[in-house]
Amino acid sequence: MTTMRAVQARAAGGPEVLELVERPIPEPGPGEVRIRLEAIGLNYIDTYQRAGLYPVKMPAVLGLEGAGVVDAVGPGVRLHKVGDRVAFGNGPLGAYAEFHVAPEDRVVALPDGLDARKAAAMMLKGMTAEFLLCRCYPVRPGDPVLIHAASGGVGQIMTQWAKALGAEVIGTVGSEAKAEVARRNGCDHLILYREEDVAERVKAITGGEGVAVVYDGIGAATFDGSLKSLRRRGMLVSFGNASGPVPPIQPLRLSQGGSLYLTRPTLFDYVATRAELEESASALFEVVTSGKVRIDIGQTFRLEEARRAHEALEARETTGSTLLLP
């Protein structure tokens, strides 16, 4: 076998630009490993890259997260060997395929008992939860926190992890069915943000004070409500654009809101070195293998159904993590 199936975006656009293609199986170069993928993680960022919000060179095989078995190594590889069970969650791009080549230092070994599907469902989303909760704004016991899209992929992991850190978690969700999912993960309070005013509810729940931190992956639609939900000197962590990017804001608004902090982080800056990546992945493996955080694979699609998977994610039809199976 010299070719493999892959899904590429032929140009920037809607889900219809995704197409199944035959590609030569890539050869690992110096310092690279080739992974035979058993599962591929779908992430909201894939839709931004497909649509052109985060430009990538087209045509492009999308996908930043996956897990499987090392089946070839390039010259000089030291960290992994053929047969190792591994995963990655910060690229490189190209995981929507049967095989993927990655620099060895972006790939981590999987602990025993963690299967490839679960790993592919948690690497990018779980390391995101780690850096947001432990390093971007380090959550302390008793902190009231607001997590948007609490039943989503990142949202479910964050809710459980924040509870394990001792936070009081307020979650937003798009429907009653999703509220039930978020409740099972330990959300103390739920807001149906398509019907209710988020800041008003947050203020009522926190006795008028507001939350210490808002984790907002929704962007344009929630930004104002997030700012208004903060207590004095609280922090807005704006980490995504599921509803579109946040328009420019005046720094004065942070002053008027109570000397607020605003950050717009990305995982790639928090796992930029091998040491950071290993620490983030180890912390994630610990909370998952100890049972503090359960990974919910809400839905799976065959690799060739990537278009349908993108449509479902963008239509808010999914809960938890979504996998593509090669």
Ligand X SMILES: NC(=O)c1ccc[n+]([C@@H]2O[C@H](COP(=O)([O-])OP(=O)(O)OC[C@H]3O[C@@H](n4cnc5c(N)ncnc54)[C@H](OP(=O)(O)O)[C@@H]3O)[C@@H](O)[C@H]2O)c1
Identify the residue among 28, 68, 91, 153 touching ligand X (CB under 6 A): 153
Residue selected from 96, 239, 285, 301 as contacting ligand X according to rule CB under 6 A: 239
Q: How far is the CB of 77 from ligand X (least distance, A)?
A: 27
Query: Of 156, 95, 171, nearest to 126 (Cα)?
Result: 156
Q: Which of the 8 DSSP states describes residue 72?
A: E
- Nearest CB to ligand X, comparing residues 28 and 155: 155
Candidates 41-49, 77-85, 114-122, 281-289 — which segment interacts with ligand X by CB under 6 A? 41-49
What's the CA gap between 205 and 234, in Å, rounded?
16
Q: Least Å distance between CB 150 and ligand X? A: 7
Residue 105 beta carbon to ligand X: minimum distance, rounded to whole angstroms: 19
Q: Which helix (H) or strand (E) holds 54?
A: none
CA distance linking residue 313 with residue 183, whole number of Å = 21
Q: Which of 192, 156, 176, 151 minimizes the C-alpha distance to 318?
A: 151
Q: How far is 96 from 315, CA to CA, in rounded Å? A: 21
Contact 169, 186 (CB under 8 A): yes
CA-based diameter of the chain, in Å?
Answer: 64
Task: State yes or no: cis peptide before 144, omega within 30 of 0.
Answer: no
Contact residue for ligand X among 17, 77, 154, 306 (CB under 6 A): 154
Binder to ligand X among 17, 18, 38, 43 (CB under 6 A)?
A: 43
Sign of the alpha-carbon torsion through 161, 235, 271, 66? positive
Binding segment toward ligand X, per CB under 6 A, in 61-69, 94-102, 197-205, 239-247: 239-247
Residue 173 lies near ligand X (rule: CB under 6 A): yes
Q: How far is the CB of 318 from ligand X (least distance, A)?
A: 6
Q: Are 138 and 167 in contact (CB under 8 A)?
A: no
Q: Does residue number 174 form part of the binding site for ligand X (CB under 6 A)?
A: yes
| Complex with ligand X: residue 70 or 173, whichever CB lies closer | 173
Q: Judged by CB under 6 A, which of 8, 151, 159, 226 binds ligand X?
A: 151
Return the residue of 8, 128, 159, 226 that touches ligand X, per CB under 6 A: 128
Q: For residue 44, state whether it binds ligand X (rule: CB under 6 A).
A: yes
Restricting to residues 190-219, name those near ligand X by CB under 6 A.
Answer: 217-218
Alpha-carbon distance 300 to 316, whole Å? 15
Q: Does 293 help bind ligand X (rule: CB under 6 A)?
A: no
Of the residues 72, 164, 188, 266, which one makes contact with ligand X according to CB under 6 A: 266
Q: Would you say 158 and 167 are in contact if contact means Cβ atoms under 8 Å apart?
A: no
Count other Cβ atoms within 10 Å, centred on residue 142: 10
Chain residues binding ligand X by CB under 6 A are 43-45, 124-125, 128, 149, 151-155, 173-174, 178, 217-218, 221, 239-243, 265-267, 313-314, 316, 318
